Amino acid sequence: MAMKIDLRAPNWMPDDELRQELLSMMPEADIYTADDPGDADQVNMLVINRLTPGEHRLYPNLQVIQKTGAGVETILADTTLPASIEVTRLSTPAAAPEMAEYSLAYVLQEQRHLRLYQQQQKVGLWQEKKPRIASETCVGIMGLGRIGQVIAERFLLNDFKVCSWSRTQKQMAGVDCFSGEEGLRHALAKSDYVIVVLPVTPDTTELFSYPVFQHFKPGSHLINVGRGELVNEPDLMRALDEGLLAGAVLDVVSEEPLPSDNPLWMHPGVQISPHISGYHLGDAMQDIVENYRRLLAGEPRINVIDRQLGY
């Protein structure tokens, strides 16, 4: 029985660094890496950041694929992955509050017209614009899961009105919760800021396309911290050009890194950051140790993905 780490993300985290961290928590474990591949027959848990289609075939006794993040769409995209292989993700103890902070930063920037004042400073223009009041502003959170709930809490603490949209009907104190197709329209109609923190699934891929942008409140802003694939980017630019919404903040895009000639870079209504809203993993690596311990003990794993739902 062995775990294999194959992140292929040396700038973010070298495999051996993760191995040392995990060994400090479970010194008795057998942990292979790409550079120290061990015996593939022994591997029962694969720790990855990305999965190459068919890669599971290298490990005949593989039981669990553990993602070193929250989004598992690239793993589930492997149509050859047997149903018997469990897919698990990390919890987001550090990333969720960071994503709330990121969203709040952009919302406050708009509320207080800070981008406008930067432009005015460049030409020495002293001209005031009335700030928007938080308690009269509604933030709509698309996806009220682990991260969405933390974002909702942060906006409530800052006096904003908050509504949400999720697959199943939720209840959260202070949050106007919607679900289902009609619920999406209601949530969008109320929202001055639409924060997208959904997983990519067959139901949510390019959900934010032209017909949905037609339900955005005029003057509203989109903030996408979920995944680029949730948004149809040409439709977004068209909707911005037509004034269906006022601006978009994209921490994630459909092609990362975003090529330098992609029109999103130059669009005046779009602000882009390089997928950094949820940056730190915090204590989330303990989930890997816990899942490996559970696998060896024959206990149910934590953070298991529902393969049917896709998240």
CB of 167 to ligand NDP, least distance (A): 4
The verdict on 186 binding ligand NDP (CB under 6 A) reads no
- Choices 45-53, 137-145, 242-250, 265-273; region in contact with ligand NDP by CB under 6 A: 137-145
- Interface with ligand NDP (CB under 6 A), residue from 97, 140, 145, 247: 145
DSSP 119-187: HHHHTT-----PPPPGGG-EEEEE--SHHHHHHHHHHHHTT-EEEEEESS---BTTEEEEEHHHHHHHH
Cβ neighbours around 125 below 10 Å, total: 10
Let me know if 19 is a catalytic residue: no
Between CA 46 and CA 306 the distance in angstroms is 18
Between CA 293 and CA 83 the distance in angstroms is 22
292 CB contacts (<8 Å, ≥6 apart)?
Answer: 3, 22, 26, 29, 45
In the shown chain, the binding pattern of residues 4 to 43 toward ligand NDP, with x for contact by CB under 6 A and - for none, equals ----------------------------------------
- Choices 140-148, 208-216, 261-269, 291-299; region in contact with ligand NDP by CB under 6 A: 140-148
The verdict on 196 binding ligand NDP (CB under 6 A) reads no
- In residues, how long is the chain? 311
The residue annotated as part of the active site, out of 19, 56, 154, 227, is 227
Q: Which residue is nearest to ligand NDP (CB)?
A: 145
Cβ-contact 2, 42 below 8 angstroms? yes
Let me know if 293 is a catalytic residue: no
Between CA 294 and CA 309 the distance in angstroms is 23
Q: Which residues in 275-304 contact ligand NDP (CB under 6 A)?
A: 275, 277-278
Catalytic sites, residue numbers: 227, 275
Which positions lie near ligand NDP, rule CB under 6 A? 70-71, 92, 95, 143-148, 165-168, 170, 197-199, 201, 203-204, 225-227, 251-252, 275, 277-278, 311
